[in-house]
Amino acid sequence: MEKFSPVGEREITQAIVTEFAREFNEMIASDCIIVGGGPSGLVAGRDLARAGKKVVIVERNNYLGGGFWSGGFLMPKVTVRHPAEKVLDEIGVPYKTVSRGLVVCDAPHACSSLISAACAAGVKILNMVMLEDIVIKEGRVCGVVINWSPIASLPRQVAALDPIAIEARVIIDATGHDATVVKKLEQRGLLKCKGEGAMWIEKSEDLIVEHTGECYPGLIVTGMAVGTVWGLPRMGPTFGSMFLSGRRAAEIAMRKIEEREKQQ
Ligand code: 48F
């Protein structure tokens, strides 16, 4: 049997600390910070990274994928309506056409492939990290204030632990139904969320993609967060609009990043 290389504790610890510090240093200023690593954030991140942009996803869990691991009612089958199955084709996920314009695939296969595609494109991930606040300068969102997510469960007297901030040319709120980045603007009276509407699958997906965009200078909203901001109907257990909203967010972000590059 081949023996493992004779590497000890010190080298292992050094490898972790050095690599993390090097990469984290690179994340302090990027083209785009995406808060939330669900399907919309992953598609947006992949598209931007493929176009050569420096992208960081901030995710409060220790895994990416958000609500994409299970299709609905805890059953791991994901439905996607036409034309969004093209994203499944791009990332090599097999699916079955169940009726005209509707496909179904395995959630773990689709979710793990999308995560892998985003990482392979060059997206950098800060996981176990939560958004605590935003940075606003001269009427524009230009960064996020972050902290380790486990501190949220510490008692208040222990958890007065200062966060840090990282900056980017554009920020994307991909935090799903909670729209946590946008809510930071709402808390300050800078924007009013209409709150998510009731389910109406035939209408919701087109509306989510149509309303994807910049909701405040420097902040783009994508995925289910769009429904919360604009009061759009939820679409329940179907994911096509998460893909195409993420794609639209990336297209808009690309233009904004280029505008900022010229201004700075
Ligand atoms: O909820 P999520 O999957 O958002 P999405 O991309 O997709 C929605 C669908 O999964 C589903 C649906 C459509 O059929 O209705 O719900 O819009 O992913 C959101 C991610 O954001 C993270 C959260 O852990 C999840 O992975 N997140 C939320 N708040 C924070 C956050 C925060 N404050 N800091 C960091 N991450």
Full set of structural domains in the chain with CATH:
30-66+109-263 (3.50.50.60)
What is the average per-residue pLDDT within 46-70? 97
pLDDT for 188: 97
Ligand 1 pocket: which of 42, 57, 59, 131 to mutate (most atoms within 8 A of CB): 59
Whether 224 lines ligand 1, by a CB cut-off of 6 Å, is yes
Atom 5 (ligand 1): residue with closest C-alpha?
176
* Confidence label for 235 from pLDDT (cuts 50, 70 and 90): confident
- What distance in Å separates the CA atoms of residue 228 and residue 234, rounded to the nearest whole number? 9
* Confidence label for 166 from pLDDT (cuts 50, 70 and 90): very high
Ligand 1 pocket: which of 64, 185, 224 to mutate (most atoms within 8 A of CB): 224
What atom in ligand 1 is closest to the CA of residue 238? 14
* Confidence label for 159 from pLDDT (cuts 50, 70 and 90): low
Kindly state the tokens that stand for 254.
């690309």
